[in-house]
Structure 1
Amino acid sequence: MNASFATLIGALDLAQRLRDADWVVIDCRFDLANPDFGYQAWRRSHIPGAFFLDLDTDLSGFRSGTNGRHPLPDPAQLAARLGECGIDNHSQVVAYDDTGGMFAARLWWLMRWLGHHRVAVLDGGLQAWCRAGQALDAETPEPIQRSYTFSLQPGRVDADYVAAHLGGTDMLLLDARSPDRFRGENEMLDPVGGHIPGAINRFFRDNLVTDGCFKQASVLREEFGALLAARNPHQVVHQCGSGVTACHNLLAMEAAGFHGSRLYAGSWSEWCADPSRPVASGPA
């Protein structure tokens, strides 16, 4: 079996293995303001052989109005969709987007939730691929139907867990949204502004350098280490607006060597849908 990548992979490493039979590339491009953008962009050009998975229809489940904007998909349906992309339990999967891993990290986390660890995000995304002089094409890859068997892992918590641990010392809640949204300002996506009481803001874009690649692992370790302040990584619960960019912080922590933090998938959009839940505003 080829070398396994479990967090990030560089463009040249991917290029060397792009045609390997057990490697599958997934295009995760998306635009919250234009949900059809990703699919149309993939149709125009993509990394050769890449399949497309959509955040709304493939990487999210049924929205009830109270379970957040991007609730987790049904595991069996997701596993079937992965199989349609030629992914089985031995595949090395590489996810990419054009927004610094903002959406690719969601697939990375979902596959780990299903019990799959040979999955990585292309560091720097499509821009890094192009900067490395690698080709794109517009050909639709031939689907190779494979069977994927999932085994759910304990990597998530729900709203009841968060509520039960508010104010306690055994949970560190990291909010990946921009600082203004965390403070309750300029909220354009959810009907209520603010944050979950006790949360600390770690904007997911702070994981990146100017070219859209992740910071060095040593830098991420120093930065997240300061936030943890000697806490165990298992005490960290990640959230954001809808459980997408929170995965970026979780990926950054794993890349830095802090293993075992968890995701509150419903995040702020689920939390604020229940008016009985407490809301904070302003800085942490």
Structure 2
Amino acid sequence: MKSLISSLLAVLAVGLSAPAWAAQPLLTPAELSGIRQNPDVRVIDIRSPKEYAAGHIPGAVSAPYGKWRGPADDPGKLPPEDKLVALVRSLGLDTNTHAVVVSSGANSTDFGGSARVYWTLKYLGLTNLSILNGGLKAWAGAGLAEDRNVPSVASTQYVAHLDQSLIATTQQVAAQVNNQQTRLIDARPRKFYLGDAKAPTALVPGTIKGAVNLENDKWFKPGTSIFVDPEKARQIAAAELAHPAQETISFCNTGHWAATDWFALSEVVGVKNVRLYPASLAEWTHDSALPMQNVPSRGKQILMKLKGLVS
């Protein structure tokens, strides 16, 4: 009887410590305003330190986007696990924390930073996550308060539980190139997919063999960083991805735009088995043996370089 009572008390304690709501992947400014003062909510501002210092959502902690990225020559690569865990702990995040990621809201590309941080936190084992739809721009547009106070948060002893189902390595992507049951999605603007432009981090223009193009900006209300409603997102997915697949892998140049496609399909639309290839073409193109398509001729690449379309 004593052991039964102890077990019941333990379950009750967990229930009391857990947030009383289920986190939605996207929050409006009004929704965030309604919960932000709850002690289980942690607002994570990923803008630059200068932007944060100029004004932020009250109670938000600063964690600039660069801290979540790899080295300059391979920025899509995840930082070492110990550094990511130390960052998570310093932000006061733990299993029961509802983490809300906030970017500037400047444009659809800016949203990719929020999506990449959200994905990283989920990969580390945190699941109670949201993104502020429209970022700080939407918050300010709603007339909600900002301040310059830097909150003091207690560090945690969070232990990562890596969710390997969310990530794809170069070797894993290469193994799926000719698999008709795996859908490879290039999240970059069309000109990159077609090989008419190249990012500095990629050695070769073009895309991974067999990939389809789902431009990351399709998920937003035109000219904004406001993500469309779930029904509209489902319509976009149905129109862009007509053929079913058992698995989807999203990539871009450095895993930034790709994080938006991953977030849209996995978290909003509810597609199963969606993975992110964080290193993306910045790593893929450094191995000449890996298959590509839409690669322009050497002469065209020289002409593109002269026009400043590649570097």
* Runs of at least 5 residues in structure 2 that lack an aligned partner in the other structure: 1-18, 297-311
For 1:124-273, what aligned pairs fall within 5 Å after superposition? 124-153=134-163, 154-190=165-201, 191-210=203-222, 211-232=224-245, 234-253=246-265, 254-273=267-286
**Match of residue 81 from structure 1:** 87
Residues 1:27 and 2:37 are matched in the alignment: no
**Take 1:121 and 1:182, find their aligned partners in 2: how far apart are those partners?**
27
**SS of corresponding position for 1:249:** helix
Q: CA deviation at 1:62?
A: 4.7
Residues 1:53 and 2:63 are matched in the alignment: yes
Residues 161-170 or 107-116, more deviating? 161-170
Q: Is the 8 A contact 1:85 1:145 kept in 2?
A: yes
Which of 95, 102, 105 aligns to 2:112? It is: 102
* Corresponding letter in the other structure for 1:127: K
| Structure with the higher helix share, 1 or 2 | 2
Residues 252-261 or 111-120, more deviating? 252-261
Q: Is the 8 A contact 1:197 1:280 kept in 2?
A: yes
* Corresponding letter in the other structure for 1:235: E
Which of 91, 97, 101 aligns to 2:97? It is: 91
For 1:66-77, what aligned pairs fall within 5 Å after superposition? 68-77=74-83
Q: TM-score, normalised by structure 1?
A: 0.89
C-alpha distance after superposition, 1:148-174 (max 9, x if no partner): 121111211111121122132021111
**Take 1:9 and 1:103, find their aligned partners in 2: how far apart are those partners?**
16
**Take 2:253 and 2:134, find their aligned partners in 1: how far apart are those partners?**
23
Bigger radius of gyration among the two = 2
Q: CA deviation at 1:74?
A: 2.2
Which of 41, 49, 53 aligns to 1:39? It is: 49
Q: CA deviation at 1:199?
A: 0.9
For 1:2-21, what aligned pairs fall within 5 Å after superposition? 2-21=20-39
Q: CA deviation at 1:183?
A: 1.6
* Corresponding letter in the other structure for 1:5: A
* Corresponding letter in the other structure for 2:230: A
**Match of residue 35 from structure 1:** none
Q: CA RMSD in A?
A: 1.9
Q: Is the 8 A contact 1:241 1:267 kept in 2?
A: yes
Which of 294, 297, 300 aligns to 1:281? It is: 294
Cα gap change, 1:102 to 1:15, in 2 (>3 Å): same
Q: TM-score, normalised by structure 2?
A: 0.81
Identity %: 27
Q: CA deviation at 1:257?
A: 2.1
**Take 1:39 and 1:240, find their aligned partners in 2: how far apart are those partners?**
27
**SS of corresponding position for 1:237:** strand
* Runs of at least 5 residues in structure 1 that lack an aligned partner in the other structure: 30-37
* Corresponding letter in the other structure for 2:168: V
C-alpha distance after superposition, 1:43-76 (max 9, x if no partner): 21111121222333x212456x5xx322112223
* Corresponding letter in the other structure for 2:21: A
Cα gap change, 1:282 to 1:215, in 2 (>3 Å): farther
**Match of residue 32 from structure 1:** none
